[in-house]
Amino acid sequence: MDRAGLAAFLRGRRERITPADVGLPAGPRRRTPGLRREEVAQLAFISTEYYTRLEQARGPHPSREVLSGLVRALRLSDAERDHLHQLADVPRGLPPGPPREVRTSILELLRRLPLSAAFVTSAAQEVLAWNDLAAALMADFSAAPRRDRNLLRQAFLIRDEHGRRLYGVSDADEFEHASVSRFRTVLARYPGDPELTALLAELLDGSARFATLWAAEEVQAEPVLRKTFHHPLVGPVTVNCDALDIADLDQHLVIYTADTGSSSEEALRLLSVLGTQRMDVPI
């Protein structure tokens, strides 16, 4: 544990935060830049004496819970949080469940891909963010409750009035194998997450197909790099599929692109104009 480094880091981060940043009144006699030590301690749910000892490089080895409180109180970025754990010599560990917050730069990237259908999924295969073309090609995600944006539920539990599944896509069977394999590894990473446990129970109870694949104990599946969507307005749309890891958030950015000059590229152009007119396909 680097006590001197930890003390300097905490002091520097405390001094850069204003009371307004955390919803506290400035007060008429505030001489110290940033927050007072007792204010940080209050926000972190630790004693003022304990925090003062940390800033004076004479504190005890902080626990992971104490560090989490300091991250929250000092509004640390992801990089600063990791640095805090390194200074304290405390392995960060995984969060209790898959992160759902999408980084602002990724949201901006989605917006800047007008001729590519792109979306972000969590480790639990929940669609977290998407651009307009992804909504037009697949479904209007914004019109669905959060639980129905999960691709596992789409693959195994949700059908339209015609019995169709998963956006009428050509690789539905391959996707089922791959998604079950990924879900198994995710459950191992987040064993205490109640949402994942509930989703597993729902899938096992509601889908014989899922139960069969789950019993097979597969942990790997070959990726599908090309697929065809059977869209009710523009017909078949064949796209290349690339999934990029957002490793620090345990998320994936999925991008669908059509070959240049193909009829599918023209179909995507048309969909970008038509928008989310896909009324007879379930989200």
Q: List per-residue pLDDT tens for the chain, 283 residues long.
A: 778 888 888 888 888 887 777 666 666 666 667 788 888 888 888 888 888 888 888 878 888 788 888 888 888 877 788 888 888 888 766 667 888 888 888 999 998 998 899 999 999 999 999 999 999 998 888 888 888 899 999 889 876 665 556 566 777 788 888 899 889 989 888 888 899 999 999 999 999 999 999 998 776 655 568 889 989 889 999 999 998 998 878 899 999 999 999 999 999 999 988 875 543 333 3
How far does the chain reach from its first CA to its final CA, in angstroms? 50
CATH level 3 topology of 104-274: Beta-Lactamase (3.30.450)
Assign 75 to helix, strand or coil: coil
* pTM of this structure: 0.64
Domain ranges (residues) in the chain: 3-88, 104-274
Q: Which neighbouring-strand residues pair with 129? A: 120
Q: What is the pLDDT of residue 282?
A: 37
Whether residue 125 contacts residue 179, with contact meaning beta carbons closer than 8 Å, is answered with yes
Q: What is the pLDDT of residue 279?
A: 37
Q: What is the pLDDT of residue 213?
A: 92
CATH level 3 topology of 3-88: 434 Repressor (Amino-terminal Domain) (1.10.260)
Rounded Cα distance, 166 and 33, in Å: 55
Q: What is the pLDDT of residue 228?
A: 92
Q: What is the pLDDT of residue 280?
A: 38
Q: What is the pLDDT of residue 278?
A: 45
